[in-house]
Amino acid sequence: MRLLLDTHVVLWWSQGGSQIKADARRRIREADEVFVSAASEWEVAIKVALGKLSVPGPLLDVVAASGFSPSPIDLARAAAVGSLPAVHADPFDRMLVAQALVERMHLVSHDRLLARYPVLFLPA
């Protein structure tokens, strides 16, 4: 199983993961591959700069320490956002959905609204 973690799931994981449902934690530990999108680093950087979020260090460090892999944003993934229905207004979440669809990954998120997309969804 290949997983793509929503930004909040990565942050929760970096804090020990107790906010993540037990089934999702187990699947993250047992997954073939776990990815974190460049969109998540972008989202964190913006929220930190605006004073809306405080994190101990770069998300890239969490990704490396956790054994996760970065998932880049390229033109194909960005273009896929345009074909999504207007279910969710958050551009970062829409990018994550597009990446999960293009790469055929399960999207791990606490945001159940994302499950309304035709994406493999794993509730966190």
* Domain residue ranges of the chain, discontinuous segments joined by +: 2-123
Cβ-based neighbours of 62, under 8 Å, separated by 6 or more: 10, 11, 13, 14, 36, 68
Q: Is the CB of residue 101 less than 8 Å from the CB of residue 80?
A: yes
Q: In angstroms, rounded to a whole number, what is the distance separating the alpha carbons of residues 119 and 75?
A: 19
Q: What are phi and psi of 18, to 5 degrees?
A: -65, -20
Q: What is the pLDDT along the chain (124 residues), one digit of tens a residue?
A: 999 999 999 999 999 999 999 999 999 999 999 999 999 999 999 999 999 998 888 888 999 999 999 999 999 889 999 899 989 889 999 999 999 999 999 999 999 999 999 999 999 9
Q: Which fold has domain 2-123?
A: Rossmann fold (3.40.50)
Q: What is the pTM of this model?
A: 0.94
CA-CA distances (angstroms) from residue 72 to 14, 21, 42, 61, 103? 20, 26, 11, 16, 11
